[in-house]
Each structure stands twice: as C-alpha cells, then as structure tokens.
C-alpha cells in the first residue's frame, strides 16, 4: 500500500494573555456550599425559555458557558470519574463505560454502570479503581465534606465518591456508608420503579439533597446526578416528544431546588453549577467493530470493548492491519494509537493521532481507540448531529463529534458573576479544582483541570482570558483513496480541551 503522510499544525491565539493568580482565601466564601447538578445527556440547545424556563433563568442570573466540554470518550462513567477527580482518563484510569482488566479476567468486559463490578476492580487492584485521588478525599483532608446523590446507574453514583468520604452516597441501589441507610429509608421511603421519563427517581435524588443533605449531612459540596434526559433520550431519540417531556420534568426539579433553598434562606449561600456529562447524537449506524474485525466471535487475539481494541501481545503488525481496515471503512471516524514519540501528535501507526491528544495515554489503554464518524445533519425533530454508531437505540453518545463533546454549563450563586456569557473553553475536569478553590483548598497537582476563575466574582472577565486554538491533521493514502483526520483542541492556562475530530475520505 502506497503511503503519503501529511501533518499540519495550525495555531490561532485570542485574548490578552492574562495569567490567573490565586488570591488569599475569602473567609465569607467558606460559609457557602456548592451544588453540582449533572443532567445526564443534556444538550446545550435544549436550554431554552420554552423548554427549560428554570434553568434558562439561572443562566440569565449567573454565567452561561458556551464552550463547555465533555471528556472523550464522551460516555457517562468516564465523565463521572473526571468530575470526581479533576482528571482525564490519562490520569484517573477509567477508560470507558465498559473496561477491560486482563489481569483480573482475560475474557470479561466489566460494566462500569454496575457498582459491584467497580468494587470488584477496586478490590483486585488494591484500592486503585481510579489512579488519581478523588474530590471527596481531597475535601476530607481539608476538613470539608462531600455528598453524592444520584438517580443514575449505581456505577456512576459510586464513581462520584468511591472512597465513601464525607457524607457518602445516596442512590436507589446503593447507600454508603451503611450507617446512613436507616435514615434514607425513613426519609425517602421505598425506591420507585425505573421509568422513562425517570421522574420519580429523579425527584427522590433531589429529596435526598433537600431532606437529608441540607437537614442532616450539611455537605460543603454536593454532586447530584439526575438520569434524564439521557435515560429517555436513548430510547426515544434526540428531540422526541417524550425526551422533551423528560427535560421539562428535570427543569421542574431545578425549580424545586431553587424554591427550597429560598425557603430555607440559603439562596445567597449556595453556588449552583448545572452541567451534563456529554451531548447527544442521532444514530444512523449499521455495523460495529466486532462484525468488521472478528472472523470468529470466540477468537482471543483481538478483544473489543466499545471503541477500544486490545490486540494480544500488542502485535504491531496486527495493529497496523486493523488500522488499515478501519481507515477504508466509511463509518469509522477518528483513529488513535499509542504515541509514536513523546510529546508528538502522531500515533504509532501511520495516519493515526496519538492517545496523548485524546488524553487517553494510560497503562490500562488499549492498542487502538476508535470513534464513529459523524455529520451535522438534522434529524426528524430538527436537532443536528448524527453518528454512525451501531446501536439498537435511536440516539447516543461516545464519539469525538462536536455534538457529543459540546455539553452544558450554567453557574449561579454568591461567588459567581451575574449576567455573563463566557466563550472561554471549559470542561468537566474543571469542577474538582474549582470546588477545591471555593473551599479554600489548593487543587492537587494530580488534577488536569483548572479553576474556572473567569466565572467567579473576584476573577477576570472571560474576555481577558487567553484561549489558544490548535488543529492537528494527518493523512494517509490507502488502496481506496486518502484518509484524512483532523483534530481541533484548545488550551486555557495549561488545560487542554478536545473540541472535535473530523474525518474525510477522498476516493481515487
């Protein structure tokens, strides 16, 4: 196969080059608490006055972040781990929604949505489910307390506070520490059935914060995870009538939280961050990696876990052949491999980009990481963004498409600016360092994220913050034409954000 490789880096710089410095600890700020509300799968274009009046109103009162980022792979548990640690997978080591630990089991895909699977990994790795300290641990060392409440999967709830620090975890299937269980049963009662929309379980999670968190635990930081619109959207699609109803109902829960805080006289005591773990795209895929690559389902030389491909003994020739097959397959988008050289954007296989650019370099990483391709086409409800993922569900996420990467962030509260729109890049790894800062704790060096000072009253204007934009391109000529891969990312104060990838193929 004839090969032509092209690499281009484009740099665009905006802003004044302001360097953000740490001011002295604000004593009044330490009397404030913070609530992070994750609305699973909430696209930014859902936040309108008609569909989400309560959240939209919070945005007008506080700060709307227009360039917020999910962590790639744009799946729930990767982002739960990033929110909980302030790290990318390259440091926290949770590589996907399903993960592979051959040292534990050579033929098992562990489902990170199941807390029991995560606890098995935690035990087998000597307490290293995550390879970075969690926010709960950091806060506890600083004399502060974290509580996690969730209506999502038991796995995503567990990842928010897996060391069970501070106030613990309240979830429909998982209440830790066990000493909290009688109080949860007394106050919240029986667990309602799972449903789409998941209204009753979402309401129960909110009640856990209002009736147990505020009244009993009194955490300095609460991480709240509500399962909609993701829960309903997977089944019914982006912008579908029932999806929109699920969004209205979680917006009503936000209204209920705001009203309850006001009733308690806490409206000027709580900083609220409303975000999502990822965006969402309409599926139009027909085939998957298993069908494409494995001649026999039971073959052991290649192990596929979502978009991660593990090759037995890291066989370089087999890895190269698999990549070449992927590059000529139309529904395959970006392809990443291990770095060819340290601090270089190229992957070890020609025409791929490095895991480093995807923040995915880790001893637990596979040999190849693949994203499905995507388009900006609109679906039948008028919502843009399709992906070629194979799935029985009409919609999903997980790719490096801008429609999966671009997610929601609105912040409001006593320490947050008022009536501001920020175009500065931000991401889900930024919550942990920002929450440390608000609690008078210096973020540990383990965190990839940064303090979102441009959101804070004593921070700089977003317009003054330096944002660097980079584009990396690589190209390879295959037997069917050229495979061209482009990756856009931005850097703010040393923190890197993957914006999107784009793949084009020219037939010859």
pLDDT in tens, the chain (508 residues): 333 333 333 333 333 333 233 446 788 889 999 999 999 999 999 999 999 999 999 999 999 999 999 999 999 999 999 999 999 999 999 999 999 999 999 999 999 999 999 999 999 999 999 999 999 999 999 999 999 999 999 999 999 999 999 999 999 999 999 999 999 999 999 999 999 999 999 999 999 999 999 999 999 999 999 999 999 999 999 999 999 999 999 999 999 999 999 999 999 999 999 999 999 999 998 778 988 887 655 678 999 999 999 999 999 999 999 999 999 999 999 999 999 998 889 999 999 999 999 999 999 999 999 999 999 999 999 999 999 987 789 999 999 999 999 999 999 999 999 999 999 999 999 999 999 999 999 999 999 999 999 999 999 999 999 999 999 999 999 988 999 999 999 999 999 999 999 999 987 6
What's the confidence (pLDDT) of residue 71? Answer: 99
Which range marks the domain in which residue 73 is found? 38-90+132-220+228-282+396-464
The per-residue b/e assignment along 464-483, b for 16 or more CB within 10 angstroms, e otherwise, is ebbbbbbebbbbbbbeeebb
Looking at the fold, whether 367 and 411 belong to one and the same domain comes out as no
Residues contacting 108, CB < 8 A, separation 6+: 100, 101
Please count the structural domains in the chain: 2
What's the confidence (pLDDT) of residue 318? Answer: 96
Residue of 96, 2, 58 lying closest to 324 (CA atoms):
2
The per-residue b/e assignment along 58-89, b for 16 or more CB within 10 angstroms, e otherwise, is bbebbbbbebbbbbbbbbbbbbbbbbbbbbbb
- The β-bridge partners of 478 are 481
- Residues 358, 344: Cα–Cα separation, whole Å: 12
Structure tokens at 498: 């993957």
Looking at the fold, whether 57 and 144 belong to one and the same domain comes out as yes
Task: With respect to residue 30, please indicate whether it lies within any of the assigned structural domains.
Answer: no
Residue of 412, 406, 383, 409 lying closest to 395 (CA atoms):
383
Task: With respect to residue 213, please indicate whether it lies within any of the assigned structural domains.
Answer: yes
Residue of 421, 438, 431 lying closest to 61 (CA atoms):
421
Looking at the fold, whether 259 and 239 belong to one and the same domain comes out as yes
DSSP state of 194: P
Cβ–Cβ under 8 Å, residues 396 and 389: yes
DSSP state of 127: S
Looking at the fold, whether 214 and 305 belong to one and the same domain comes out as no
Looking at the fold, whether 239 and 166 belong to one and the same domain comes out as yes
Looking at the fold, whether 180 and 305 belong to one and the same domain comes out as no
- Residues 99, 364: Cα–Cα separation, whole Å: 9
Task: With respect to residue 338, please indicate whether it lies within any of the assigned structural domains.
Answer: yes
- Residues 57, 441: Cα–Cα separation, whole Å: 31
What's the confidence (pLDDT) of residue 477? Answer: 94
The DSSP code sequence of 97-109 is: SEE--TTT-TT--
Looking at the fold, whether 324 and 175 belong to one and the same domain comes out as no
Looking at the fold, whether 212 and 334 belong to one and the same domain comes out as no
Locus of tokens 């990696």: 289
Task: With respect to residue 500, please indicate whether it lies within any of the assigned structural domains.
Answer: yes
What's the confidence (pLDDT) of residue 296? Answer: 56
Looking at the fold, whether 294 and 374 belong to one and the same domain comes out as yes
Task: With respect to residue 1, please indicate whether it lies within any of the assigned structural domains.
Answer: no
Structure tokens at 360: 């995915």
- Residues 497, 358: Cα–Cα separation, whole Å: 9
Q: Which CATH number fits the domain that encloses residue 433?
A: 3.40.720.10
Task: List C-alpha distances in Å: 260 to 44, 49, 167.
Answer: 25, 21, 20
- Residues 146, 127: Cα–Cα separation, whole Å: 20
Task: With respect to residue 116, please indicate whether it lies within any of the assigned structural domains.
Answer: no
Task: With respect to residue 32, please indicate whether it lies within any of the assigned structural domains.
Answer: no
Residues contacting 191, CB < 8 A, separation 6+: 172, 173, 201, 204
What's the confidence (pLDDT) of residue 343? Answer: 82
Looking at the fold, whether 240 and 315 belong to one and the same domain comes out as no
Residue 271, classed as helix, strand or coil, is: strand
Residue 465, classed as helix, strand or coil, is: strand
Task: With respect to residue 197, please indicate whether it lies within any of the assigned structural domains.
Answer: yes
pTM value is 0.94
Helix, strand, coil in percent for the chain, rounding step 5: 30, 25, 40
What's the confidence (pLDDT) of residue 16? Answer: 30
Cβ–Cβ under 8 Å, residues 282 and 385: yes
Looking at the fold, whether 342 and 201 belong to one and the same domain comes out as no
Rg value, the chain, Cα: 22
Task: List C-alpha distances in Å: 121 to 80, 125, 130, 228, 395.
Answer: 16, 6, 10, 28, 30
What totals of helices (H) and strands (E) does the chain contain, helices first? 14, 27
Looking at the fold, whether 347 and 408 belong to one and the same domain comes out as no
Q: Where are the alpha helices (DSSP H) in 70-224?
A: 76-85, 89-92, 115-124, 135-141, 154-160, 181-188, 199-207
């Amino acid at each position: 196969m004839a090969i032509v490789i092209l690499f281009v880096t484009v740099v665009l710089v905006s802003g004044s080059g302001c360097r953000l410095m740490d001011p002295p600890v604000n004593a009044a700020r330490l009397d404030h608490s913070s609530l992070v509300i994750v609305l699973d799968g909430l696209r930014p274009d859902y936040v309108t006055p008609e569909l989400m009046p309560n959240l939209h109103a919070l945005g007008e009162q506080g700060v709307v972040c227009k360039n917020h980022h999910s962590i790639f792979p744009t799946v729930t548990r990767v982002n739960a781990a990033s929110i909980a640690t302030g790290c990318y997978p390259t440091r926290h080591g949770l590589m996907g929604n399903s993960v592979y630990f051959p040292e534990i089991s050579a033929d098992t895909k562990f489902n990170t949505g199941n807390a029991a699977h995560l606890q098995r990994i935690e035990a087998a790795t000597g307490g290293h489910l995550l390879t970075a300290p969690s926010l709960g641990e950091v806060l506890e060392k600083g004399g502060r307390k974290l509580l996690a409440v969730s209506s999502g999967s038991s796995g995503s709830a567990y990842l928010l506070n897996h060391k069970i620090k501070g106030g613990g975890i309240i979830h429909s299937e998982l209440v830790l520490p066990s000493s909290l269980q009688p109080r949860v049963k007394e106050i919240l009662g029986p667990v309602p059935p799972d449903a789409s929309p998941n209204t009753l379980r979402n309401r129960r999670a909110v009640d856990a914060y209002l009736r147990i968190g505020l009244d009993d635990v009194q955490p300095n930081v609460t991480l709240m995870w509500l399962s909609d619109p993701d829960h309903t959207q997977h089944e019914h699609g982006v912008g579908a009538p029932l999806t929109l109803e699920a969004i209205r109902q979680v917006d009503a829960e936000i209204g209920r939280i705001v009203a309850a805080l006001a009733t308690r006289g806490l409206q000027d005591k709580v900083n609220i961050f409303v975000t999502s773990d990822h965006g969402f795209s309409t599926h139009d895929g027909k085939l998957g990696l298993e069908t494409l690559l494995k001649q026999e389902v039971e073959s052991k030389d290649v192990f596929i876990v979502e978009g991660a491909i593990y090759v037995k003994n890291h066989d370089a020739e087999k890895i190269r052949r698999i990549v070449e097959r992927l590059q000529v397959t139309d529904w395959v988008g970006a392809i990443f491999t291990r770095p060819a050289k340290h601090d270089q954007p190229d992957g070890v296989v020609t025409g791929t980009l490095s895991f480093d650019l995807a923040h995915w370099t880790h001893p637990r990483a596979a040999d190849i990481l693949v994203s499905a391709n995507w388009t900006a086409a609109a679906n039948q409800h008028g919502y843009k963004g399709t992906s070629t993922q194979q799935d029985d569900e009409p919609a999903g996420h997980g790719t490096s498409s801008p429609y999966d990467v671009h997610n929601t962030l609105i912040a409001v509260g006593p320490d947050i600016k008022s009536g501001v729109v920020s175009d500065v890049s931000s991401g889900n790894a930024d919550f942990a360092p920002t929450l440390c800062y608000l609690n008078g704790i210096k973020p540990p060096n383990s965190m990839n994220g940064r303090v979102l000072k441009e959101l804070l009253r004593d921070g700089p204007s977003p317009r003054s913050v330096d944002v660097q934009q980079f584009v990396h391109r690589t190209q390879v000529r295959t037997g069917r034409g050229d495979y061209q891969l482009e990756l856009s990312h931005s850097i703010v104060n040393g923190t890197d954000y993957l914006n999107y990838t784009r793949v084009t193929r020219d037939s010859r």
